[in-house]
């Protein structure tokens, strides 16, 4: 039996080949998110296997609060490719390069009269399709209430990118900008940007593998409005097995921590108030260690984040990430049927870049909007049925849940409303 479980586990792990966007502001589930596996251990169960496919319905972005919305408000809802700027600046794109370089010379030729706020401005429109995000988990119940879990996501995303050149055709500089740059923007950007593509992309693969040791213990209570208390704590590592950000794709999304080793720590508290009503809170922290790799950086403060031609080696110091869940659930109100709602909040603090070498300025690179703090807020509606009746004997104690995730706000983040289910087997 144990051998069979190992085979199943390995099979599930083998299926996985890609990440979740932990370090990127996209609100798809992490595979170790408490919302995506069976929350309670069944009687005599030694291991759980769970598969949680999540399918995106529609995506959009929430801009930063200082984004020039009309009327101004915190976190405007924007298209995903206008997350950081409403318009991209193809003229600013050429700035910051040596004057004797191809880019510097082109800038000089076009920009003799500089950017007038319209010339060279590009309006991008993107459609991000979260085709699926499958979280795979295998949790082993160890003595003393410890649980060792392995988690791996498999993700498939597709970005459809379109753009419109806003340059007018009324001045000589307009005509020059069009003829030399924006009439053939994609090819020019790819050539000048050393392979940078601003067109559509799609990518599928595994994310970062996580290994987390949980501890959870239930403390029964004999009070009118508190039947038991469960405390939880966890500690784990996220290994950089996932696809990294592709610096040659527009708004590329890494499937994990972008090559960084992650340190995860979380605690939780669940309260069963009455037999059919429980609530709880879960707080988690993620520290991703710095990674040096080739990245696209700003070479001028006026540049916009989607049109960056400079690709250079830089160390990224990731900001601290923390999130919490707050839930209320009607627990097994009819057999194994439960229904609940969870409020989820994510926050990632500013990232910093340290450019390797002296060719570019770290100070300028760090003015990128994409490095700034991001947040998002979700509501997760879940209906589940646990075939484990607490008596044991139910074949593999299956657990099924349907969920709908509704993003409700954010800042500097792409959010997707998703639906999915959780299928778990326990042995």
Partner 1 sequence: MTAQKRFLSILFFMCSFASLSASAVVSGDSTLPNVSFSFPIHQHVYDVTNGLFFVGADQDSTCSNLSLAVASLATSFQALSPQSITVNSQDGQPNPLFSKKISQLALIQNAGLVAVTADNPSSMSLLYSFLEFNTSTQIYVPQPAQAKLLTTTGINDAAGNVTAGVVGLAASSAFAYAAVKKNGATFGEVGGGIALLAVNSLDKKNAVTGAMGGNLAAPLDPTTPAVKITSNLASITANMVDMYYDYYLDRLYIALQVTANGGASDGARAIVVGRVAGGILNFDAIAPDAALTGTNHIVGATGSGSQIFLFKVRTLQTSSKLSYLIVEGNNGTTGGPNIFALPLVDKTPLNQTSDPVHGTLAKFDSTPMDQYFPTYAYPIQSRGLTTQATAPADLLTNTSTQAIVGGGPLPLGTSQVITDIFARNDAVYVSIGNSFDGTTRPGVFYSQAILDSLGRIKAWTPWQRAAGTDNTMFGIALDQRSGRMWLMPGDSVTTLTVVRLTDWTNGAGDGLLGGPPTNRTLGLVDQLSVLLPKEQGGIQNFFNFSETTPGFGTVPPTANNQISMAVAVGLNNVVLCETGRNATASQFRADTGDFATGEKIFTDGTLTGFAPDGTAKIVAISGGVLGTIGPLTSAEVSRIPLSGSTTNGYLFVGGTGGVAVLSAANGAGWDTSSPNGGLHAGFVNLTGTMSFKTVGSYTNVRKLVCDGTYLYVLTNTLLDRITISSIASGPLVTVHLATLTQLGLQSFSSFSDVIVSQKLGILATSAGLYRVANGFNIANPALTSGGLGWTNVPLPEGLGTATRLLAVSPTGFDAGLAAGGMGGMLYVMGGAVSFNQARVYRFSIADVSSSAIGDATVQSLNDLFIKNVPSFFVEFGSYRNFIATEGTSLLNEISGTQKNGPLLFDFGQLVMGNRYLAKNGNPAIGALPLTSTSSVRQMLRNSASGSWLVGGSHGLFVNE
Q: Which residues bind partner 1 (CB under 8 A)?
A: 89, 91-92, 94-100, 102-109, 111-118, 168-176, 300, 302
**CA torsion angle 109 110 111 115 (round to 10):** 180
d(C-alpha 375, C-alpha 183), whole Å: 36
Q: Closer CB to partner 1, residue 114 or residue 248?
A: 114
What is the enclosing helix (H) or strand (E) of 48?
strand 47-62
CB of 343 to partner 1, least distance (A): 38
Q: What's the sign of the alpha-carbon dihedral 232, 236, 241, 245?
A: positive
Q: Closer CB to partner 1, residue 7 or residue 118?
A: 118
d(C-alpha 270, C-alpha 328), whole Å: 10
d(C-alpha 293, C-alpha 296), whole Å: 10
CB of 299 to partner 1, least distance (A): 8
Q: Report how far Cα 201 is from the mean position of its chain's Cα atoms.
A: 17
| Residue whose pair of structure tokens reads 């009118």 in the numeric block | 224
Reduce the DSSP state of residue 344 to 3 states and report it. Answer: strand
Q: Closer CB to partner 1, residue 116 or residue 200?
A: 116
Q: Which two tokens stand for residue 5?
A: 């479980």
**CB 27, CB 376: distance < 8 Å:** yes
CB of 375 to partner 1, least distance (A): 26
Q: Closer CB to partner 1, residue 200 or residue 302?
A: 302
CB of 162 to partner 1, least distance (A): 23
Q: Closer CB to partner 1, residue 63 or residue 278?
A: 63
**CB 154, CB 15: distance < 8 Å:** yes
CB of 176 to partner 1, least distance (A): 6
Comparing CA positions, the residue from 401, 378, 397, 376 lying closest to residue 387 is 397
Q: Which are the contacts of 108, defined by CB distance < 8 A and separation ≥ 6?
A: 99
**CB 52, CB 422: distance < 8 Å:** yes
Comparing CA positions, the residue from 181, 161, 317 lying closest to residue 251 is 161
CB of 114 to partner 1, least distance (A): 5
CB of 250 to partner 1, least distance (A): 21
Q: Closer CB to partner 1, residue 168 or residue 389?
A: 168
Q: Closer CB to partner 1, residue 355 or residue 425?
A: 355
């Amino acid at each position: 039996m144990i051998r069979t479980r190992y085979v199943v586990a390995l099979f599930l792990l083998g299926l996985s080949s890609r990440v979740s966007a932990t370090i990127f502001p996209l609100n798809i589930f992490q595979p170790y998110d408490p919302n995506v596996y069976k929350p309670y251990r069944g009687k005599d169960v030694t291991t759980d296997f769970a598969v949680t496919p999540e399918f995106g319905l529609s995506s959009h972005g929430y801009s930063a609060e200082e984004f020039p919305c009309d009327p101004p408000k915190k976190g405007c809802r924007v298209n995903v490719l206008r997350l950081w700027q409403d318009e991209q600046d193809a003229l600013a794109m050429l700035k910051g390069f040596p004057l004797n370089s191809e880019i510097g010379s082109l800038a000089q030729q076009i920009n003799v009269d500089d950017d007038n706020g319209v010339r060279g401005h590009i309006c991008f429109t993107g459609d991000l399709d979260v085709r699926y995000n499958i979280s795979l988990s295998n949790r082993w119940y160890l003595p003393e209430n410890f649980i060792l879990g392995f988690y791996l996501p498999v993700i498939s995303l597709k970005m459809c990118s379109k753009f419109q050149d806003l340059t007018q055709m009324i001045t000589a500089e307009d005509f020059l900008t069009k003829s030399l740059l924006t009439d053939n923007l994609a090819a020019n950007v790819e050539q000048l940007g050393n392979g940078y593509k601003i067109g559509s992309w799609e990518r599928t693969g595994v994310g970062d593998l996580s290994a987390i040791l949980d501890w959870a213990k239930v403390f029964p209570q004999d009070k009118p409005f508190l039947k038991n208390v469960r405390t939880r704590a966890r500690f784990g590592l996220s290994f950089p097995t996932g696809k990294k950000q592709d610096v040659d794709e527009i708004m590329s999304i890494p499937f994990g921590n972008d090559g960084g080793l992650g340190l995860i720590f979380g605690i939780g508290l669940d309260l069963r108030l009455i037999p059919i009503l429980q609530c709880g809170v879960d707080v988690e922290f993620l520290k991703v260690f710095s990674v040096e790799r080739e990245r696209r950086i700003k070479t001028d403060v006026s540049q916009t984040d989607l049109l960056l031609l400079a690709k250079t080696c830089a160390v990224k110091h990731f900001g601290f990430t923390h999130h919490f869940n707050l839930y209320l659930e009607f627990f097994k109100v009819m057999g194994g049927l439960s229904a609940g709602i969870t409020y989820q909040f994510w926050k990632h603090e500013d990232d910093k870049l340290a450019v390797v070498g002296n060719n570019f300025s770290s100070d300028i690179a760090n003015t990128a909007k994409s490095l700034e703090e991001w947040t998002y807020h979700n509501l997760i509606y879940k209906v589940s049925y646990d075939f484990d009746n607490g008596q044991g004997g139910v074949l593999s104690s299956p657990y099924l849940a349907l969920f709908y995730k509704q993003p409700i706000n954010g800042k500097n983040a792409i959010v997707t409303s998703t639906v999915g289910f959780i299928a778990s087997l326990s042995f």
